Structure 1
Amino acid sequence: MRTDPWTGRTACALQKALRLSNELFAEHLGIGVRTVASWHQKPDLKPKSEMQQLLDTAYERASATVRARFAELLGQGLAVPAADAVADDDAREAAELRLTGDPHIAVALEWLDGHAGWEAGTSRRKVAAALANVDVRGLRDRGARRGGISQTDVTRALHDYYGTAENGYGRYSAKFGNEQTAATTILTREDWLDLGAPLLTRADGLKLDQAPSEAAASLNEQALNAAIQRLAETLELGTKLVNMPLYRLRTASAGEDGIAGTVGIAPFVHYALTMDLLEGELLDALATGAGPGRLPLREHYLPDLDAVTRLENRLCAGGVLALCAIARPASLHGDADYLILIQQRSGNVVNANRQLAVIPKGFHQPAADLRADTRLGGTLLREMEEELFGRDDVDNTLGDQRAADPMHPSRQSEPMRWLLERPLGERLRMECTGFGLNLVSGNYEFPSLIVIEDEDFWLRFGGQIEANWETSNLRRYSTLDTDLLAELLADVAWSNEGLFAVLQGFRRLAELGGHRVKLPPVEWELT
């Protein structure tokens, strides 16, 4: 029996020993998901007495194998039982039990069986076998190696892999500050940039096309093995994987009249088990010194620039992300300015893991109405609620969507309700600043700008703004601090889409901000 009090750190160690996601661990204890997320964010936090008792009970009911794994995670010198002490069959049986405990993993297994042409249950057995043999230390070491690969390394490698873009396309890069440069993996066009398209208007013109045309998901042997390993590692690491519907881009155009095009619907597991594997493959190749010469998954899914731009022939998922600028009055911090918020992404997210990004950032997806939710502005409002204003029930990654209208005014947080009391443009401005295709995984990216113009918002609600579980660290910058902002743009920890969004956002905010801004000048070019 344990005698030491539980902390956020030891509670998370128990979660890892049990090999449960945040949602399943919360369900196991009978508590809220946000409580579990807070333990990850505050490892020194000491839970209240009733929570201590729940954790004691969970530990006491755990198997000897789980307790030994827990002790090893805490570095107490107790090893996991040797292979001859726990039979392989028992390990696989335990792995299969974990697979049945997560309904979203079950959907992923069914999807994999269907697209591989396997008999039902085959993927479950294969993933269970892989899960029983996952090397946790190896995963941690791999994560550390991946973390050493910078955005610049990725950009250079994909330039070498794909070669020179043609037919009006180019990779987005920019000069800023004192002749500093930043290059990205975003494939774009001149007419796709500096849009200034007001969202939730006619300029926000994506439409739903429900014609049957599922994006191809041909899976060769290497793709199947990678998908199986992805599911095993997802369970082992507690990464959030929820089979929400995504909008997949089928056609697109952008220009002076705004954004237009069509979207279909695809399950998230399709993306997670195919296109989302390309980034990890590239990072591993760079970390081992192999370079981008041999990338089997990329050769299968996204072999050349023509494949990147032929949207109808592949799964093109993606999203919306926005530079957020909040007006502040003159005070002890200095003259009137805008507060810029930048996030470092959590290690528990699928997209832009541990990288810098603007906030909000999210996949473009329907909340309740497949047709009405195609507008980019709707996704941005939801993401702002979830990521900054503390709304649990908007995000259907926390459970099934049962609300008829998740964004009804009666359900909105107080900050959001206040912003939307007036017509868009008075207190809250939202614009799309560009469009591009990310060579990392083929995603579409719609960088945007959110400006809260009324400085009363900061006085009323500034203390309530707090990032959710998707963020490990929230940074703040003044739009009057030119030198610090130039350092921010030069940071090698940016995700490519995040850098694209912040550079485009700075260009537009420089036009709108007046005396509140002294931003480093940004001039883009296509290379």
Structure 2
Amino acid sequence: MDSASWTGKTACALQAALQMSNEVFARHLGIGVRTVADWHKKPDTKPQSGMQQLLEAALDRATPAARARFEQLTTGRTPEPDDAEQRLADDPNISAALDWLDHHASWEPGNARRRVATRLAQLDLHALRDAASRRSRVDQRRVADALAEYYGARTQPHGRYTAVYGGRDEAVTSVLTCPEWLDLDCPLVARSDRLSVVPASADVDITLDEEAAMHAVQRLAGTLAMGIRLIDTPLYRLLGIDVHKGEVAGSVGITNFVAYAVTMDLLENELTDALADGIAPRPGSLPLRDRYLPDLAAVLDVSRRLCAGGALALCAIARPASPYRGEADYVLLVQERSGRVLNAAHRLAVIPKGFHEPMTDVRADAQIGATLRREMEEELFGRDDTDSTTTDWLRADPMHPSRLSEPMRWLMDTPGRLRMECTGFGLNMVSGNFEFAGLIVIEDEEFWTRYGGLIEANWESASLRQYSSLDPQLLTELIGDVAWSNEGLFALLQGLRRLSQIGGDRVNLPAIDWKVQ
């Protein structure tokens, strides 16, 4: 409302909307109790300008439910529902999550909706944004070190992926891997990209106690309040893994994104919230982690837990020599993730990056290369009809040659123009996700000349950066940036290692040697 229109009556209406006593309302504003009492006695009085600013600020900080009560008290009208309330009422994806929660928490139908509505009315949007800001300041190295403290000693032959780069600096990640899973040099083509789909009862083993269920309620309420996209798409769930040099194999089943979003995906925020609050990450201090991912044996036993994940790749595009830029090189693309994504928000990552999920052909789409090609179309070439968060799969073949973007069609028309490899595999201890790290190389300089100006990140990115493969100093600084996500840093390091082997005169990269510890 216009701050000039505040009166004793509207100030009292705000107090009623906030459901506060005189004493609590006075403390909330930072004023004396007598002033509040005077507003009740003299409803027509007009507070001075400084006081009006305090009232306006208090209204701005109020929850959506409190603002709705204030509007009804001051106008007599029932306000239109805000976007969050509308999504709670109408969004089929939210309804799917609520139904899932009722079932797996053994609640009566409708219980989850009521609990989420109650929590939504209590949320302070400013507090949610402050919490997101605090999480973003917990850097990649702190997360990796915290998980090392929580899980303790390695389980041979598996350990944390660590790299020494530039001859002396060390990068430590939370990615659990082993020597057999690294430097795969695996072409992402049918003969070597061979994950198979098997029937599996995806979520029959997930049962939520009251504490876990209420964390799920908080996640859904926060998702609504912050306007974060939540789409109930199918996801591949890893059931078995057989990865070695030159081949990616194993088995996957199908689960749904909402099951992941309200269970395993909660572990990252629980950990970063604890670190931001100075809580030591030990067993017993992280109840959700204690429940879902208590030890390294649980991390590795993918068949007995919900193990979703994805594929991400360092993208290297050949550029011709330029009198302004210099010698012929590869441009390397890095993104900063936006705040609208559900995980790894505000972190650095390679691009493309996406969940491993089927579109319309469950068996063919199980190839890691299928996810990376789809993500290239979505995240680099601007096709929104391959984005599962904004569209339904209504086309029989969304990746049919006739539907490809012009840059992707050019790449696919001639064999050899698009080189895609898997460079490593690991299990991310942050939330138990599987991570297939890759390298995408476009060797033909003509691509950059034709289409370089058309490459544009989508809504999942806050910014897109480019680096030259001939700039070892800047790349060394990039590796050391603590804003990376752990999986992003893993993919960057493995991609740079492989590019140094095949890049020829176009590369001058920092030396990178890995170890598992």
1:333 aligns with 2:314: no
How does 1:9-48 map onto structure 2 within 5 Å?
none
The farther-off stretch of 116-125 and 436-445 is 116-125
CA distance in 2, matches of 1:470, 1:109: 25
Count of aligned positions: 455
Matched, 1:173 2:165: no
2:310 to 319, 333, 341: 319
Corresponding position of 2:145: 156
SS of equivalent residue, structure 2 residue 384:
coil
Distance 1:83 1:345 in 2: 33
**What amino acid does structure 2 have at the position aligned with 1:265?**
I
Identity %: 56
- How much has 1:170 moved relative to structure 2? 0.9
Kept in 2: contact 1:359–1:387 (CA 8 A): yes
**Shift of residue 396 of structure 1?**
2.0
In the alignment, what sits opposite 1:297?
Answer: 288
Q: Who is 1:346 aligned against?
A: 338
Which residue pairs with 2:113 in the alignment? 124
The secondary structure found in structure 2 opposite 1:476 is strand
Q: Is the 8 A contact 2:438 2:495 kept in 1?
A: yes
Task: Tell me, in whole angstroms, the C-alpha distance in 1 between the residues paired with 2:79 and 2:218.
Answer: 16
The TM-score with structure 2 as length reference comes to: 0.85
Q: Does the 8 Å CA contact 1:320/1:447 hold for their aligned counterparts?
A: yes
Distance across 1 between alignment mates of 2:387 and 2:202:
27
Q: Is the CA contact 2:59–2:67 (under 8 Å) kept in the aligned structure 1?
A: no
The answer to whether residue 401 in structure 2 is matched with residue 412 in structure 1 is no
Q: Shift in Å at residue 87 of structure 1?
A: 8.1
2:446 corresponds, among 432, 456, 460, to 456
Q: Deviations over 1:477-515 (max 9, x none)?
A: 000001000000000000000000000001100000000
Aligned to 1:235: 224
Q: What is the distance in 2 between the residues matched to 1:522 and 1:257?
A: 21
Displacement, 1:117? 1.1
Alpha-carbon spacing, 1:329–1:222, altered in 2? closer, same or farther (3 Å): same
1: CA distance, partners of 2:221 / 2:59: 26
Distance 1:232 1:453 in 2: 47
Q: Does the 8 Å CA contact 1:171/1:183 hold for their aligned counterparts?
A: yes
Question: Which of 511, 514, 517 lines up with 1:524 in the alignment?
Answer: 514
Shift of 1:93: 8.3
- CA deviation map 1:65-101 (0-9, x unaligned): xxxxxx99x989867567974689x899877544122
User: 2:198 corresponds to which residue?
Assistant: 209
- Choose from 296, 304, 310 the match for 2:301: 310
1:142 aligned counterpart, secondary structure = helix
SS at match of 1:154: helix
Separation of aligned partners in 2, 1:416 and 1:522: 31
Residues of 1 paired with 2:436 and 2:271: CA distance?
A: 23
Which amino acid is 1:368 matched to?
T
Q: What residue in structure 2 maps to residue 34 of structure 1?
A: none
Is the aligned partner of 1:372 residue 2:364? Answer: yes
- Whether the aligned pair in 2 keeps the contact of 1:206 and 1:375 (CA below 8 Å) is yes
Q: Cα offset for 1:422?
A: 1.0
Q: Report if aligned partners of 2:199, 2:253 keep a CA contact under 8 Å in 1.
A: yes
Which residue is equivalent to 1:21? none
Name the counterpart of 1:479: 469
| Corresponding position: 1:284 with 2:276 | no
Kindly report which structure 2 residues correspond to 1:107-146, keeping only aligned pairs within 5 A, or say none.
107-146=96-135
Q: CA deviation at 1:168?
A: 0.7
| Unaligned ranges ≥5, structure 1 | 3-70
Equivalent AA in structure 1 for residue 260 of structure 2: Y
> What RMSD, in angstroms, separates the aligned Cα atoms of the two structures?
2.3
Letter in 2 for 1:165: R
The alignment status of 1:399 with 2:391, answered yes or no, reads yes
Kept after mapping to 2: 8 A contact 1:432/1:448: yes
Q: Given that residues 208 and 262 in structure 1 are in contact (C-alpha distance below 8 angstroms), is that contact kept between their aligned partners in structure 2?
A: yes
Give SS of 1:137's match.
helix
The one-letter amino acid of 2:215's match is: A
Give the alignment partner of residue 426 of structure 2, picking from 432, 436, 445. 436
Displacement of 1:221 in angstroms is: 1.6
Matched, 1:105 2:87: no
- For 2:85 and 2:107, the matched residues in 1 are separated by 18
Distance 1:327 1:82 in 2: 54
Larger radius of gyration: 2
The superposition leaves residues 272-318 of structure 1 with CA deviations (integer Å, 9 ceiling, x where unpaired) of 00000000000010001012120000000000000001111100000
CA contact (8 A) 1:215 1:312 kept: no
